[in-house]
Chain A
């Protein structure tokens, strides 16, 4: 453990500032600039987790977002802990605490590893096949699967961090700050285009920035030196915004992109406080340049998943960038030239390079010759047939490949090593391109999918576009960018570029072993533990489509979305099925490219900002008088006003009784109010309501029912004719916005010839409703000048009035069946009018009541609530409200649908009243209604829509919809509940005051 695995390298890491961190409760040290992965490797820790199914020890494999194994839990605070974070992307900071996940009880001793010994009986789809039967065993299986599989733990308390959303508009967005992205950003910004360059790392420069090799030179200096100068000039360009630590999450149509910027994740724990942690950028770019590079492929061979087996290019980054040796005796295994760059870097840093195992016959490229010159041993035309070492690799076994590559032959060579770098070639990162709707094409020569057709204003450049050699990358990036931006930049002309060119290519998707395939473990998806054998099994079992094979074997379905495994899965499927890879297509890459935190997704829309909260102008009075509130749409409405220690039932019973015995007062401000004006206003109302409006006198009110074009009840409310061409419509609280939209739709699209203007005035007026036998006396105290006689001011009429010189509209309308007034007044005066009425009513025991009592009172009268007693399948006829349908009008919205063959059926579900045999028994709303007792199965005839205990009738009452209910009056039915069956009788819907005497009481 005390081995020194650091080499002096201060280019990117500040080796003078030491940082302490905790991994699995043990303290370690790293340096500023390290990632958690590089710091762990420097401490000789490879083992960081266990695989999902077999619980095999797994180590760090990569150095970026494609990392499949090093998935850790950050922090142990119940509100801030974060699961499924990649150690390769966590920047080290003072105070960082992480634990390995997916291992129980610990990473070094894992009970689930017993699965590994049973692995021959855990093939693909094991979970589907085994645990599905017997189904009642699932509870038992689930406990163990969840416990031993686990993908980290969620925080249990609200996130304390602050997140943010911002919009960004630009001419050109360049994604990726590698060499091609830097070239493109420079060209764009120098041509007066407002340019944004983003990169997910903390420094620009991609892999070139640490490429210091004789084989890669630009204008006679190492490519890293040249690029460093370019980056310096970039920083002085004023049209350019550079955002590092910003990863592009999603690329949607119309060049709308989401990027997450990490603002504090890299800061010391005490510097993070009170700062915005992450910002989600919502970017609208005129043009997008994708320069996301490529990622290295692994090789698929027996036991290719042990800790210490890493991507060759990652080993190179750890040594050249972080100054960390991933091992002290390293072997390399490759099918292409790039592993030689790693071999040379390691060799130059004093690491022993055992050999390079190359599956190719022999090749003479510049870089290979350089490696040979340094004395690095190469096993040509060979493959690794096995690896050894449980928690860390300790040796590999090498054999010669047969000519066709399907077999191995000769003598087995064992080579001791503590790390092996594997390279299976490169996969262009086309994820964002396909997310944006782009179509891919396949290049046979090196088996890569490349961007082909797109409907958006975008290009892909550099290695994500299939250019892998330095001169090509530069030349094509310049050419494509110039053409795309329609500019003529010549900054990069006449560059003298030296690059090693790959001459020979060879690829074997599944490398052979001396053991039969069934006895090997060639892993494809390291996180989800699927092997090449699982893919072959799926194909034998008849799965053909890549999407099906993927789901059956779970290949590519882990948190890394199969970044490393997809190509090999496709390759093996194509080979086994005997089809061409290009014809097979690829799986869909869905956003986000890398996982996003929920915090970043919701931004500031948490807590009180989660949704808009609407409060009435009288709200504070309700709060001061201890009201309980209920949410109605976005509104907070007073629900009931408990006195002393009353519970809800007791309060509602008291309020309901008081309203009928003497007087009640309700805040009705939330009702939707639409001001309707214009010379065709009457005609408009005729068309949108079921009843007739032309003859409504000025100063009178009328109840209206609004249907959808399919004949179903949509909304209802009272509308008042204020003057010849002026109406005030009220709607239900929840339906207000939709009603206005619907009316506007008809006005704009079907009846543009009508002279009608609609204005929402819901928030402009507060509404105080006073009801009960003493309401008239109370109102006469509040507005003494108003003649309240039934002759002057009858039910369903309206008067303009003044309260302390403030104009108000008084409607005599009733939703309770009581003598009742509604005062509409400018919102700012609503509370004072409410208090005036309350004070005036004190001598009559005026009782404030909330929505629950309002619902009870209207149910006693059989008045419906649209949305509670109706559900979008009820016509007015179903509601027994035939009286509200005009027979004379030629047309109104929904009229024709009222006599479709389906709507005129007798046996539709219809609104009825229900009385329980036991008057004390209150039905549950939503309870089902049947015709026979103790029979199963049985047809459901309908359900209870409203149910209350009526204190005024001293019995339980309910409204229900029942099939053919209209004809069933007096009939006994049953409401089966969990522990009993309730006997009920169908009745009329009006329970109280059928003659409407109370309205004029």
Chain B
């Protein structure tokens, strides 16, 4: 059970949060101009990394804000959390 540092509320138990999949996938601005393959790439294809992964999380039972997280999926270590729109840490 993680202890997650919500960028708006501070440290809270994982049970207050929901995971929202891979981060930094931007919804295409002009979907009509995309081929089926390009659209499918956006819609269905997700990385499933063993190691450092960028993820979306939502403080669903708290402030309800979405934010991003850098997590090592091999040991669940959370390396960083940052607000939507902010640049991911290197």
A173–chain B nearest beta-carbon distance, Å:
14
Tell me, in angstroms, the Cα distance from A158 to B1 when the chains sit together: 30
Q: A741-B58, A896-B34 are in contact. Are A253 and B2 (CB under 8 A)?
A: yes
Q: Judge whether B1 and A749 touch: CB under 8 Å.
A: no
Q: Judge whether A752 and B84 touch: CB under 8 Å.
A: yes
Tell me, in angstroms, the Cα distance from A183 to B75 when the chains sit together: 31
B47–chain A nearest beta-carbon distance, Å:
18
Q: Judge whether A896 and B32 touch: CB under 8 Å.
A: yes
Would you list which residues of chain B between 60 and 85 have a CB under 8 Å from chain A?
Answer: 60, 64-66, 75-77, 84-85
For the A-B complex, the count of residue pairs with Cβ-Cβ distances under 8 Å equals 55
Interface status of A284 (Cβ within 8 A of chain B): yes
Interface status of A815 (Cβ within 8 A of chain B): no
Would you list which residues of chain A between 748 and 770 have a CB under 8 Å from chain B?
Answer: 748-750, 752
Interface status of A254 (Cβ within 8 A of chain B): yes
Question: Which of B20, B32, B64, B76 has a CB less than 8 Å from the CB of A253?
Answer: B76
Tell me, in angstroms, the Cα distance from A900 to B41 when the chains sit together: 12
Please tell me the size bucket of the interface on B. Answer: 20 to 34
B88–chain A nearest beta-carbon distance, Å:
14
Tell me, in angstroms, the Cα distance from A741 to B58 when the chains sit together: 9
Residue of B nearest to A284 (CB): B3
Tell me, in angstroms, the Cα distance from A897 to B34 when the chains sit together: 11
Q: A455-B77, A891-B32, A900-B36 are in contact. Are A750 and B27 (CB under 8 A)?
A: yes
Q: Judge whether A896 and B39 touch: CB under 8 Å.
A: yes
Would you list which residues of chain B between 16 and 58 have a CB under 8 Å from chain A?
Answer: 20, 26-28, 31-32, 34, 36, 39-40, 43, 56, 58
Q: Judge whether A710 and B43 touch: CB under 8 Å.
A: yes
Residue of B nearest to A737 (CB): B60
Would you list which residues of chain A between 674 and 723 have a CB under 8 Å from chain B?
Answer: 709-710
Tell me, in angstroms, the Cα distance from A665 to B75 when the chains sit together: 57
Q: Which residues of A contact B3 (CB under 8 A)?
A: 254, 256, 284
Q: Which residues of A contact B32 (CB under 8 A)?
A: 890-891, 895-896
Interface status of A506 (Cβ within 8 A of chain B): no
Residue of B nearest to A252 (CB): B1
Q: Judge whether A256 and B58 touch: CB under 8 Å.
A: no
Q: A253-B76, A437-B75, A891-B31 are in contact. Are A745 and B20 (CB under 8 A)?
A: yes
Interface status of A159 (Cβ within 8 A of chain B): no
Question: Which of A284, A752, A895, A901 has a CB less than 8 Å from the CB of B31?
Answer: A895
Tell me, in angstroms, the Cα distance from A929 to B16 when the chains sit together: 44
Q: Judge whether B66 and A749 touch: CB under 8 Å.
A: yes
Q: Judge whether B66 and A897 touch: CB under 8 Å.
A: no
Interface status of A744 (Cβ within 8 A of chain B): yes
Tell me, in angstroms, the Cα distance from A686 to B20 when the chains sit together: 24
Q: Which residues of A contact B43 (CB under 8 A)?
A: 709-710, 897
Q: Which residues of A contact B26 (CB under 8 A)?
A: 750
A339–chain B nearest beta-carbon distance, Å:
41
Q: Which residues of B contact A284 (CB under 8 A)?
A: 3, 13
B84–chain A nearest beta-carbon distance, Å:
5
Would you list which residues of chain A between 237 and 272 have a CB under 8 Å from chain B?
Answer: 252-254, 256
Residue of B nearest to A750 (CB): B27
Q: Judge whether B84 and A748 touch: CB under 8 Å.
A: yes
Q: Judge whether A748 and B66 touch: CB under 8 Å.
A: yes
Q: A253-B76, A891-B32, A895-B31 are in contact. Are A900 and B56 (CB under 8 A)?
A: no
Q: Which residues of A contact B60 (CB under 8 A)?
A: 741
Tell me, in angstroms, the Cα distance from A685 to B40 when the chains sit together: 25
Q: Judge whether B2 and A749 touch: CB under 8 Å.
A: no
Tell me, in angstroms, the Cα distance from A749 to B27 when the chains sit together: 9
Residue of A nearest to B39 (CB): A896
Q: Judge whether B56 and A749 touch: CB under 8 Å.
A: yes
A904–chain B nearest beta-carbon distance, Å:
10
Question: Which of B34, B58, B76, B85 has a CB less than 8 Å from the CB of A752?
Answer: B85
Tell me, in angstroms, the Cα distance from A752 to B28 when the chains sit together: 15
A430–chain B nearest beta-carbon distance, Å:
18
Residue of B nearest to A891 (CB): B31
Q: Judge whether B64 and A896 touch: CB under 8 Å.
A: no
Question: Which of A455, A709, A749 has most chain B Cβ within 10 Å?
Answer: A749
**Chain A 884-911 interface mask (CB, 8 Å, partner B; 1/0):** 0000001100011100110000000000
Tell me, in angstroms, the Cα distance from A901 to B2 when the chains sit together: 42
Q: Judge whether B39 and A748 touch: CB under 8 Å.
A: no
Would you list which residues of chain A between 803 and 823 have a CB under 8 Å from chain B?
Answer: none
Q: Which residues of B contact A897 (CB under 8 A)?
A: 39, 43
Q: Judge whether A748 and B65 touch: CB under 8 Å.
A: yes
Tell me, in angstroms, the Cα distance from A744 to B59 when the chains sit together: 12
Tell me, in angstroms, the Cα distance from A882 to B2 when the chains sit together: 46
Q: Which residues of B contact A745 (CB under 8 A)?
A: 20, 58, 66
Q: Judge whether A896 and B77 touch: CB under 8 Å.
A: no
B34–chain A nearest beta-carbon distance, Å:
7
Q: Which residues of A contact B84 (CB under 8 A)?
A: 748-749, 752
A271–chain B nearest beta-carbon distance, Å:
35
Q: Which residues of A contact B40 (CB under 8 A)?
A: 900
Tell me, in angstroms, the Cα distance from A748 to B23 when the chains sit together: 13
Residue of A nearest to B40 (CB): A900
Q: Which residues of B contact A749 (CB under 8 A)?
A: 56, 66, 84
Q: Judge whether A253 and B1 touch: CB under 8 Å.
A: yes
B57–chain A nearest beta-carbon distance, Å:
11
Residue of B nearest to A895 (CB): B31
Tell me, in angstroms, the Cα distance from A749 to B77 when the chains sit together: 24
Residue of A nearest to B44 (CB): A710
Q: Judge whether B58 and A900 touch: CB under 8 Å.
A: no
Q: Which residues of B contact A710 (CB under 8 A)?
A: 43
Q: Which residues of A contact B13 (CB under 8 A)?
A: 256, 284
Q: Judge whether A254 and B2 touch: CB under 8 Å.
A: yes
A873–chain B nearest beta-carbon distance, Å:
15
B61–chain A nearest beta-carbon distance, Å:
11
Q: Which residues of B contact A253 (CB under 8 A)?
A: 1-2, 75-76
B87–chain A nearest beta-carbon distance, Å:
15
Residue of B nearest to A710 (CB): B43
**Chain A 123-154 interface mask (CB, 8 Å, partner B; 1/0):** 00000000000000000000000000000000
Residue of B nearest to A901 (CB): B36
Tell me, in angstroms, the Cα distance from A890 to B31 when the chains sit together: 9
A60–chain B nearest beta-carbon distance, Å:
37
A465–chain B nearest beta-carbon distance, Å:
21
Residue of A nearest to B83 (CB): A748
Would you list which residues of chain A between 852 and 906 have a CB under 8 Å from chain B?
Answer: 890-891, 895-897, 900-901
Q: Which residues of A contact B58 (CB under 8 A)?
A: 741, 745
A690–chain B nearest beta-carbon distance, Å:
14
Tell me, in angstroms, the Cα distance from A414 to B82 when the chains sit together: 74
Tell me, in angstroms, the Cα distance from A895 to B31 when the chains sit together: 8
Question: Which of B1, B2, B84 has most chain A Cβ within 10 Å?
Answer: B1
Q: Judge whether B77 and A900 touch: CB under 8 Å.
A: no
Q: Which residues of A contact B65 (CB under 8 A)?
A: 748
Residue of B nearest to A254 (CB): B3
Residue of A nearest to B72 (CB): A455
Q: Which residues of A contact B2 (CB under 8 A)?
A: 253-254
Residue of B nearest to A453 (CB): B75
Tell me, in angstroms, the Cα distance from A900 to B26 when the chains sit together: 20
Tell me, in angstroms, the Cα distance from A114 to B65 when the chains sit together: 66
Q: Which residues of A contact B76 (CB under 8 A)?
A: 253-254, 437
A251–chain B nearest beta-carbon distance, Å:
11
Tell me, in angstroms, the Cα distance from A629 to B63 when the chains sit together: 34
Residue of B nearest to A892 (CB): B31
Q: Judge whether B1 and A256 touch: CB under 8 Å.
A: yes
Q: Which residues of B contact A455 (CB under 8 A)?
A: 75, 77
Residue of B nearest to A751 (CB): B27
Tell me, in angstroms, the Cα distance from A610 to B27 when the chains sit together: 39
Show 9 A/B contacts (Cβ-Cβ < 8 Å), sorted by A: A254-B3, A254-B76, A256-B13, A455-B75, A741-B58, A741-B60, A745-B20, A749-B56, A890-B32
Q: Nearest 8 CB-CB pairs, A to B?
A: A896-B31, A256-B1, A254-B3, A748-B66, A455-B75, A253-B76, A750-B27, A252-B1
Given A749-B56, A897-B43, 4 additional A-B pairs, CB 8 A? A253-B76, A256-B13, A891-B32, A896-B32
Which positions in A face B, CB cutoff 8 Å?
A: 252-254, 256, 284, 437, 455, 709-710, 741, 744-745, 748-750, 752, 890-891, 895-897, 900-901
